[in-house]
Chain A
Amino acid sequence: MSTARAATRWISADLRARKGQAALTVLAVAGILAALLTGATLLEEGTNPWRSLFGQTNGAHIWIHTTERPDVWRLRELDGVATSAGPYRSAPVTLVQDGKRPQAALRGLPAQLPEVARPQVQEGRWLSSEQPDGAVVERSFARASGLRLGAPLTLNTVGGSRQVLYVRGIADSAEQGFYPEWTPGLIWVLPSTLDRIEPKHELSEWVTGLRLADADATQVVSQRVLVELRQVERVYTWREVRAAMELDNRLLGTLLALFGVVGLVAAALALANAAGGRVLGQLRDLATLKSLGFTRGQVALLLVAEHGALGLLGIGIGLAAGWVLPVVLLGAGAAAPLPVLAIGAGAALVVLAAVGLPAWRGGRTPPIPAAPAAPPRGHLSRLARLALLVRLPPALVLGTRDAFTRRVPAFLTAFGLAVPMMMITIGLGVWATLDGFLKNPEQVGQSAALIVKTGKLTQGQAEELIAREPGVERSYPGSTVNALAPGEARSVQVRAIGGSREPYPYPVAEGRGYSQPGEGVAGQGLLDLLGVKIGDRVRLTVGGSPLIVRIVGRVVEPDLDGQVLSVGLDTLEAKDSVPPGYHALVLKPGADPGEVRLRLLSASQEGLDVQRVVNPAERLGVLRPVIAALIAVLALIGLANLLTAIGLGLRDHASDLAVLKAMGLTPRQVTATLVTATGLLVVAGVLTGTAVGAATVTGLIDLQGHTSGVGAGIGRPPAAATLVVTVLAAVSAALAVALIPARRAARAHVTTARLTHGVPSGRS
């Protein structure tokens, strides 16, 4: 109690003496925490829609697409299946809109909403037999296609007939992911309407949902389903749906998390640096406290309390800001309390660990204030003498000597700048990688800029139009089929494209491209999913018939988390590959995809279906503001570290300054000495950080690419020019910051030196 009282006096006096620095520390921690929490909220928001939608719609865990109507009672009797939805008949259609031809599935549902997997109507109303031309559109599809209540829906069936329905309602569903990440889009109509629009049953499929007693039993149950049913076209589970609903994809989520964690480490370093610098500057006072009767532990505790309190205050403010910001700025739902608490507690632990070391160091000071460190001598004084010999300005020499003689503070300064600088470089590397995706899509497996489907035309007509288009370099016929992997509860995508003799120009990262039938290349995600490596054979089932492929290489695969197997078209059986489902067009260098698309559309009188390939970088566009914000926070941390270093330096030099002035240095020279001392450390720290960042960024992004299934081989370091500009900007900003207190110190009367040493001194 008595100690607490005495300690409180000391802490409040100390905080009063360094308000600005304390405020900056709090701000830096708060900034990082707010960023971390905003990131987590966005991620949560990305996963939450599934969870809440699944709950609201009483969703099904497994969805099965079959060519024939399954016996739903047999499925219901399977172990683990609680109830079912459907089977519903579903027919593929194309929405006719100006220019765009989005694919949709027309699903027949009764006017009475089902118990399981019941769509949640958000606007308008559900289907009713009084309005046979009414349709309900899934919300993300409606938004992406610009469909409002009452709007006409013009549909082309596979058979080629055109029908018009009207949007009566817009509903949410947990049956599939959001459009356009998940295609085709979903439109519900009454079964009678479906029969009218698409009378041919052989052109449609049956969709059945199973609700399980245990959500984790999907694997076992889907195996059973596959045994039980013939003609299974496609099986997927709630996991795929949830993954598709997540904020864009795993890559973004993990990158955000990575930045958040590394940012927290940087904030911890800033805090440790601030505390450490303060403690180093206060060893004399701490010694005095001990001579008055503070024990070692009490001094350490007092320091933890003081610096930890700053960190905790920052955490509190950051949590509050991070809780409110996403709601206010992005209209997202407030974060769940549990992750907020977890992040807060984690950050508090990091903060306490960060201040623990300097506090322990402070506690260890002997009660007799250590004699001021031995005056600088040794290797650098020789350097200094040399510098004086060649007549360098004295400020430069003194500054240089100063910078390196006090090793621990010098290290803290350089390190405190190197870490944020390293992370800024990494952020710039991520930026450069995104730019690389956009500028050279062929390096991420997107040589083709346009995908052409024959639409209303015949194969021959389509191929002729493509051949006549001058902007097209090459056209690769391709088909995409779903294949069932052995022992997997879900389908994987097989992309058959080009011939084995004239393969599609994949960027092969390992091994080689396919060159004969029966060979294929896979993305990292597929290799991980099936647990195979290059050289292995995989056995898949496509539409009931086996497909055996030897994997000869790994390609960079940005689609579907890399879970794609690519083969030549001649590897598939003729029934799956003739005619090809689409043509992938590689354009001539300089040809504009938009113009080529318009030319093809007009040449075919809107008969062709031409789509631009979506670059993964466009989906990751959200990353750019995140990177920019992070760089800002990192710069703030660097600034906090810099101010710590300057404060420490000035305190250390209070007495030396008096001597320098007494020796006859002008205020300008004194300023130059101080700025040189800081500047050298700044340059050292900035250069080291940039070098380390540039050296590791490619590896880090590739590691990230590996875990996200895209595969290694995508990382790009930032351009040399960018790095040079960044380094120059950082150094000049730091020098500008260092100049202000240095000038103030140089102008101040030397008598302030007595503050710590009690030496009588003259005036300059």
Chain B
Amino acid sequence: MLKAHNLVKIYAASGVPVHAVRGLDLEIEAGEFVAIMGPSGSGKSTLIHMLGGLDPRTSGEIWLDGKRVDTLSESGWALLRRKKVGFVFQGFNLVANMTVADNVELPALLAGTSPREARERREQLLDKLSLSDRAEASPGQLSGGEQQRVALARALANRPALLLADEPTGNLDSRNTRDVLRLLGEVHRGGQTIVMVTHDARVAALADRVVSLLDGEIVDDGRIPRRKIAGAGEVIDLR
């Protein structure tokens, strides 16, 4: 599904070059749920941005569904994202002028869904994230956690084959975290591929696989056997 080969990102804008990602190899199967962990500044956001085509790579290759995509133009990436990729930003990035409802419906409309379908999908998503009553609010009126959940709803609005989420549970209390994880689990069971950055080991435990980054390199890549999750009391607690 998604494959990165010898991926490198060097930020050179502000004088001193910063090696954020250094020659990273990663292969993700279709339908897999991958958690990316690592200390702050280890290059998690940079990696996930590159995988979504939001930030150009310095060198290396990215393959999506058997096609090489790192050579795509900005517009090419945009069209690809519209159809296949949903993205949750670490900073949410909700459109400030639009209501929550409009924010969530926008990607669906863009992907060609009819306005009615888009509305139904939005109602469904907001409902699952306990945000139905905030649909007409503007993002500025929401709490950090609420904004984060709206961002997730927006990423899922066009039923992307690939969900890239940068700390989708960062600002949430345990109740909301449970809502989010339940939704992610549902999405996962629906066959969508999920790549999620997280600091929270308990959240990571829900994934099929945990990739650990340090200074822009993979230091650990471990599959978590299914059985183990099912048996873990903590995880059941969260559900």
Contacts and interface: CB of A to CB of B under 8 A. Distances in A.
Contacts of A298: 78
B79 A10 contact: no
Interface string A743-764: 0000000001011111010000
Interface stretch (A171-179, A280-288, A714-722): A280-288
Contact of A10 (B14, B95, B112): B95
Give the interface centre of A9, A13, A287, A374 by most chain B CB atoms within 10 Å. Answer: A9
A284 B140 contact: no
Give the interface centre of B75, B78, B111, B113 by most chain A CB atoms within 10 Å. Answer: B78
Contact of B139 (A14, A291, A755): A755
A755 to B, nearest CB: 4
A288 B103 CA distance: 10
B110 A367 contact: no
B91 A13 contact: no
Contact of B54 (A284, A367, A757): A367
Interface string A275-303: 00000000011011111111111100000
A291 B87 CA distance: 8
Given A287-B93, A368-B55, A755-B139, A2 B109 contact: yes
A758 B89 CA distance: 12
Contacts of A292: 81-82, 87, 106-107, 110, 154
A2 B140 contact: no
Contact of A13 (B75, B98, B144): B98
Contacts of A9: 98, 102, 105-106, 109
A367 B78 CA distance: 9
Q: Chain B interface: which size bin?
A: 35 or more
Nearest to A297: B75
Nearest to B86: A292
Interface string A1-18: 111011001100110110
A645 B49 CA distance: 33
A9 B99 CA distance: 10
Contact of A758 (B81, B92, B154): B92
B42 to A, nearest CB: 18
B147 A758 contact: yes
A754 B75 CA distance: 31
A293 B81 contact: yes
Interface string A339-367: 00000000000000000000000000011
A369 interface: yes
B82 A10 contact: no
Nearest to B14: A374
A9 B112 CA distance: 14
A542 B49 CA distance: 89
Interface in B97-147: 97-99, 102, 105-107, 109-113, 115, 139-140, 144, 147
A757 B90 CA distance: 11
A298 B78 CA distance: 10
B96 A293 contact: no
* Chain A facing B: main interface SS: helix
Nearest to B46: A368
B78 A294 contact: yes
B74 A760 contact: no
A376 B7 CA distance: 34
A285 B96 contact: yes
B94 interface: yes
Contact of A293 (B95, B110, B140): B110
A291 B106 CA distance: 12
Nearest to A285: B95
Given A9-B102, A10-B95, A17-B97, A3 B110 contact: yes
A284 B98 contact: no
Nearest to A756: B96
Contacts of A2: 109-113
B54 A291 contact: yes
B91 A758 contact: yes
Contact of A295 (B14, B74, B99, B115): B74
Contacts of B106: 6, 9-10, 289, 292
B87 to A, nearest CB: 6
A561 to B, nearest CB: 57
A719 B113 CA distance: 66
Contact of B95 (A5, A289, A366, A374): A289
A296 B107 contact: no
A296 B102 contact: no
Given A6-B106, A292-B106, A758-B144, A369 B78 contact: no
Interface in A1-39: 1-3, 5-6, 9-10, 13-14, 16-17
Interface in B37-85: 49, 52-55, 74-75, 77-79, 81-83
A3 B107 CA distance: 10
A285 to B, nearest CB: 5
A235 to B, nearest CB: 69
A683 B136 CA distance: 42
B2 to A, nearest CB: 17
Contacts of A289: 95, 106
Contact of A755 (B79, B96, B113): B96
A367 B87 CA distance: 12
The 3 closest A-B pairs by CB, nearest first: A293-B82, A755-B140, A295-B75
Given A13-B97, A754-B140, 10 more contacts: A1-B112, A2-B113, A9-B98, A13-B99, A285-B95, A291-B89, A298-B78, A369-B93, A755-B96, A755-B140
Interface of B: 14, 49, 52-55, 74-75, 77-79, 81-83, 87, 89, 91-99, 102, 105-107, 109-113, 115, 139-140, 144, 147, 154
14 contacts: A1-B112, A6-B109, A10-B97, A285-B96, A288-B93, A291-B89, A292-B81, A293-B83, A293-B107, A293-B111, A366-B55, A367-B53, A367-B77, A758-B91
